[in-house]
Structure 1
Amino acid sequence: MEKTANYSLKDLIVYYLKLGTWGFGGPVALVGYMYRDLVENKKWITEDDYKEGLALSQLAPGPLAAQLAIYIGFVHHRILGATLAGIAFVLPSFLMVLGIGYAYVTYGGLPWMQAVFYGVGAAVIGIIAIGSYKLTTKSIGKDKVLWMIFVTLAIVTFATEQELLSLILLAGCIMWFVKAPPKWLSSANVILPTVIAQIPTITTESKLWQLAWFFTKAGAFVFGSGLAIVPFLYGGVVGEHHWLNEQQFLDAVAVAMITPGPVVITVGFIGYLVAGVGGAVVAAAATFIPCYLFTIIPAPYFKKYGKHPAIKAFVDGVTAAAIGAIAGAVLVLAKRTLTDIPTMVIAVSSALVLFKFKKLQEPLVIVVAAVLAIVIKVLLH
């Protein structure tokens, strides 16, 4: 019998509104915050429920943090909870990028953004490094096979600069065979999401329709979440459709990094630049609806069969692989962001301060880093 929730749906909505407003650092940090807040501190969600949600979010295409939020909403409050949790998580950052988009168009670019991003980007590395460390130590434990999977995925992700779904699935299968070997292969109860084959492009002159179709494909066919969607967006937005130029696209990615909530919300900024408020709404909805469906449709099966030894072993393997990929992604981001001594100092200082002062809020670290960055840039010029 399922344990009764010790929190209300309203409590969960308020939590996700706050996380969407103050949660800096992209998917790596956000999944870490959810673990810290909902599993460790509030104890609203069990460790097993969190692991199942993280595994499903990693297996399905679309933004990792948003899918985990949707799954956690589903755990005790089913489809209504999943829907409202997802909306509450995405809405604050969407409204922020709308405001920034308006300022960007009205005042002709964001020259101050590079200075802010210089410091914020470095602080974010420190924040996600601590989040990744906590997630690793709590989720993997002392299991040697899980540690081998974790290390392998971290190295491969760092070397290739992309998350390989095939290795994540293989990790699940390895743990399944190690921990709960099947008597025969056909008896496996593992249910995996499958990706629908690419549908032929529908020809239409409407820009909003073109936006809807392009961003639906971005949400439905891009694995890895967060910054993994950026190369796909670049190819379509700059290369194929020529909606934005190079600088506008880089500014869009910077907006995603300096605003809280899911990194994928950059689609709202892009949509705004292409077709105003209507474009922003269409781009965001088209990106997030596929990930919502990819979460709530398999979720009941994960809930129903998640305690089966074979599925639990598979989920453990996928979770270790996912956390390894996240650790590798931290290193990739660090390599790109920490380009000089000031950024390295800001990143290390951020990590040490958060490690030392457990209750310190991340937004305060972000604000201090942004101010320091502006001061550094003024002094250097």
Structure 2
Amino acid sequence: MNPDIQVPSMTRPYTLKQLATYFLRLGATGFGGPPALIGYMHRDLVQQNQWISEEDYREGLALAQLAPGPLAAQLGIYLGYVHYGVLGATLTGLAFVLPSFLMVVALGWAYIYFGGLPWMQAAFYGVGSAVIGIIAIGTYRLTLKTVGKEPLLLGLFALSALATFMAESELLWLVLLSGVVVWLVKAPPAGVRLGSLSPFLLEVFPAIDSTLWQLALFFTKAGAFVFGSGLAIVPFLYGGVVKEFGWLNEQQFLDAVAVAMITPGPVVITVGFIGYLVAGFSGACVAATATFLPCYLFTILPAPYFKKYGKRPDIKAFVDGVTVSAVGAIAGAVIVLGKRQLTDWPAVVLALIAFGLLYRYKKLPELVLIGAAAVVGLLLRYV
């Protein structure tokens, strides 16, 4: 534990049990994805209970945006670290993730057990169509917020979107290379030559036959290299889970995304559902642990030094490049997934309605849309 990040125990405005209980409740009831979850934390911990200072909250949010991994989970881990160090970070992280993990495992069991029944297929037909609209509006808002009008960032965004659409998977080397390009343009270090840069070597793990080992390596890479909000992991997962390994077909993958939308907590918890479909409960545990462990380490290790180095221009420039490329990959993935899911007019209409409603009513809960879409899917099949 770093003494610089903690305060004496007598000045802590809450107990560790209170904080863990709060994150357990947030993980069990917090719908709406990263923007909603980080808003709840600010409202509850900073404004109402005043457990966390505004400065500590902003620093945690900046670090969560800087590092790869799920934004809301990283912010929660950092806030646990503020007054209780590694133990606080560990307990808050586990409490935040555990409720939604148990829910997706239960849904994975039900999906396999009832998967052959027509009613479940009909419900997921409607849900899958609405999910396309939800992802599309989320991507639209994320693009407006992160890309802006700067020509360099717009170009990298468009390049990443086009490359993802053509390859039907996120090109990780392109995302990281975009970060390097913006870094060299905006805050170049002295003496660096573009020609001296070596290609990124991403496939560093040897081939291993065990499915659990393959799950562990793939999801570790997902947790360690994917930047952005919960949506950012969708194109990366699609490229590996569907295209590379063939663990799931495209409909099953869309169903996995839908499960992430209808459960509270971090959107990335869909990895537990995917892992369950691939290798049962062991697969769910391996996938979830491998995904969240990197973001946990990327939060607690740099936390003591973030105040000193987090505002450096070169670090900010790299993050800007990575972020716009990741958003571009999301945009490309929306087109790919839409092409696969929206195969008839009812599906197209459902997606457009979901997009339009969320565009018009920004506070409309996504869970309401998902539930309504499931009902519509059942009605289309049986009525």
TM-score by length of 1: 0.72
Describe the SS at the equivalent of 1:142: coil
Is residue 2:363 matched to residue 1:352? Answer: no
Listed one character per residue, the Cα deviations across residues 180-215 of structure 1 (whole Å, up to 9, x for unaligned) are: 2222239xxxxxx986832574x9xxxxxx554232
Listed one character per residue, the Cα deviations across residues 218-276 of structure 1 (whole Å, up to 9, x for unaligned) are: 2224565335335644689878xxxxxx7xx67854552332343312244226xx55x
Q: How does 1:249-288 map to 2 (within 5 A)?
A: 253=253, 255-260=255-260, 261-262=267-268, 263-270=270-277, 274=279, 277=281, 280-282=284-286, 284-286=288-290, 288=292
Q: How does 1:1-381 map to 2 (within 5 A)?
A: 9-10=19-20, 11-19=22-30, 22-23=31-32, 30-31=33-34, 33-34=36-37, 50=61, 52-57=63-68, 64-65=69-70, 68-78=71-81, 79-80=86-87, 82-103=89-110, 109-185=116-192, 197-199=204-206, 201=208, 210=210, 212-222=212-222, 225-226=233-234, 228-230=236-238, 232-233=240-241, 253=253, 255-260=255-260, 261-262=267-268, 263-270=270-277, 274=279, 277=281, 280-282=284-286, 284-286=288-290, 288-290=292-294, 292-293=296-297, 296-297=300-301, 304-379=308-383
Report if the CA contact (8 A) 2:123-2:377 is conserved. Answer: yes
Listed one character per residue, the Cα deviations across residues 277-302 of structure 1 (whole Å, up to 9, x for unaligned) are: 55644554355445544565466666
Note closer, same or farther for the CA distance 1:106–1:336 as it changes in structure 2 (3 Å cut).
Answer: closer
Q: CA deviation at 1:349?
A: 0.8
Report if the CA contact (8 A) 1:51-1:319 is conserved. Answer: no
Question: Partner amino acid for 1:125?
Answer: I
- Identity percentage over the alignment? 41
Paired residues, what number? 339
Question: Partner amino acid for 1:72?
Answer: L
Note closer, same or farther for the CA distance 1:33–1:341 as it changes in structure 2 (3 Å cut).
Answer: farther
Report if the CA contact (8 A) 1:219-1:291 is conserved. Answer: no
Describe the SS at the equivalent of 1:112: helix
Of stretches 332-341 and 83-92 in structure 1, the one that deviates more from structure 2 is: 83-92
Report if the CA contact (8 A) 1:123-1:346 is conserved. Answer: yes
Listed one character per residue, the Cα deviations across residues 142-201 of structure 1 (whole Å, up to 9, x for unaligned) are: 323222222221222122211112222222122222222222239xxxxxx986832574
Of stretches 118-127 and 253-262 in structure 1, the one that deviates more from structure 2 is: 253-262
Measure the CA separation in 2 of the matches of 1:119 and 1:293.
38
Question: Partner amino acid for 1:18?
Answer: T
Report if the CA contact (8 A) 2:179-2:317 is conserved. Answer: yes
Measure the CA separation in 1 of the matches of 2:170 and 2:378.
34
Structure 2: tracts of 5 or more residues without a match:
48-53, 194-199, 227-232, 261-266
Q: CA deviation at 1:366?
A: 0.7
Note closer, same or farther for the CA distance 1:77–1:227 as it changes in structure 2 (3 Å cut).
Answer: same
TM-score by length of 2: 0.72
